[in-house]
């Protein structure tokens, strides 16, 4: 049996007053061995795990940080709680759910060739949760399910 240690030590800027060392949520991609890790401040890390499943020499996995940053730069109000990671052939789509004072907010980051394209929008409901690992479906506390439709990364996203 093999084991390895995976340390998460975020490098946070000075505007983060209470730097939590422990993430609040993590999500593996269903499509490959990538991992997204979220802190309450909105700081995210996306890791390529390079997992070796069979017997052999060397490490069981050799993690490489593919991207790190904030969902919203210099935002000290939002409290983030859930992340989903979807891997496509040449990009990742990271969906993050959080809240501000009286409403929830959802954001996506499209990571492609080192570039990060971000979108966020405010929702009318509170206490929602992401249902799937692709971040396409969200559920309200009363049980209603909504599909998030992102028409393009140049236009405003909307709930379908």
* 6 domain-assigned: no
Span 28-52, mean pLDDT? 89
- Please say whether the beta carbons of 46 and 92 come within 8 A: yes
* 95 domain-assigned: yes
Q: Are strands 158-159 and 145-149 parallel, antiparallel or unpaired?
A: antiparallel
* 92 domain-assigned: yes
* 78 domain-assigned: yes
CA distances from 148 to 55, 63, 120 (A): 41, 31, 12
* 44 domain-assigned: yes
pLDDT value, residue 2: 55
pLDDT value, residue 18: 57
Residue 116: domain span: 25-159
Span 25-31, mean pLDDT? 91
* 55 domain-assigned: yes
* 17 domain-assigned: no
72's tokens: 């919203």
**What's the total number of domains in the chain?**
1
């Amino acid at each position: 049996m093999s084991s390895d240690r995976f340390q998460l030590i975020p490098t946070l800027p000075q505007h983060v007053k209470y730097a939590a060392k422990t993430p609040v949520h993590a999500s593996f991609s269903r499509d490959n061995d990538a991992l997204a890790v979220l802190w309450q401040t909105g700081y995210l890390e996306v890791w390529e795990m390079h997992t070796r499943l069979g017997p052999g020499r060397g490490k069981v996995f050799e993690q490489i940080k593919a991207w790190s940053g904030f969902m919203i730069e210099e935002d000290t109000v939002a409290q983030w709680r859930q992340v989903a990671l979807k891997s496509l052939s040449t990009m990742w789509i990271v969906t993050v759910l959080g809240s501000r004072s009286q409403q929830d907010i959802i954001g996506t980051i499209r990571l492609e060739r080192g570039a990060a394209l971000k979108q966020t929008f405010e929702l009318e409901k509170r206490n929602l949760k992401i249902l799937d690992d692709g971040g396409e479906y969200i559920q309200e506390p009363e049980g209603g399910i909504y599909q998030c439709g992102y028409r393009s990364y140049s236009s405003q996203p909307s709930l379908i």
